[in-house]
Each structure stands twice: as C-alpha cells, then as structure tokens.
A = this chain, B = another copy of it.
Amino acid sequence: MKSFREELWFQTEERRDYINITPQIERAVTKSGIREGMALVNAMHITASVYINDDESGLIQDFDEFLEKLAPQGKPYRHHGTGEDNGDAHIKRQLMGREVVVALTNGKLDFGPWEQIFYAEFDGRRKKRVLIKIIGE
C-alpha cells in the first residue's frame, strides 16, 4: 500500500467564501502515483468545510443564503462566552460537512459529470488548511 499527504493553505479576503479546489486535488492525485484507492480531503479547522457539488455561482449563493438563514452570523451564540464571535461558522460547517472521500480509479478522481470539490470558509481572513491524504496502489 502506498500513501501520500499534502496540505493546501487558504487565506480568504471575506469571512465566507467557496473555492473550487478540484484542480489542486487532481494534481495531488497525479503526484501521488496512486492509481487505485481513496482520497480523503478534509478541512483541518472546525469552522470550514470540504464538500462536493456544482460550480455554479447562483447555487453557491443559494447555499450561502440557506446557511445564513439557519445559523445567522451575529446571533448571541453561547460559544461567544469564550470571546469568540464565530458560533455561526461552527454550525454552518456541521451542515456542509468536514470531509469528502473520493474513489481513485485508473489514477484519476472517479467522478460523475458535475462533481467538483469545494473548500467552504465560514470564518476566514486568516490562514487555514485542508488536508489531502491518499492511500492505495
């Protein structure tokens, strides 16, 4: 069994952002030399998500409005008793998920026609990381 590890770093200008990271994951898969296996891609921070959906700007706005309606920024979350102001971001991240696991077949991400991997930032404007771990042969 072979394994491969790489980190991606992000510092968004906005508090919330949605970034298509599929090209970076594809490059990591190629670099790994692994042809059959699984790739785990996860946010290493607990106010960000990695998810798979369509790269369409209207849809991304729909996601953002949906999340903001369910867990609005600026509400007096109990978590703010610690001095933090990002209670909304922790909840948004739970709804969108921490990680994706993607099959590798013939050295490529084994994807349907519209699957794209996104990094979703809910409390940005500082350095944060995504982990890529690939295992297989």
Contacts and interface: CB of A to CB of B under 8 A. Distances in A.
Interface of A: 1, 3, 5, 36-38, 40, 42-46, 51-54, 56, 58-59, 61-63, 65-66, 70-71, 77-82, 87, 90-91, 93-103, 105, 110-115, 129, 131, 133, 135-137
A96 B53 CA distance: 13
A64 to B, nearest CB: 10
Contacts of A81: 58
Given A62-B79, A100-B99, A94 B46 contact: no
Interface core residue of A58, A70, A82 (most chain B CB under 10 Å): A58
B98 A95 contact: no
Contacts of A135: 36-38, 135-136
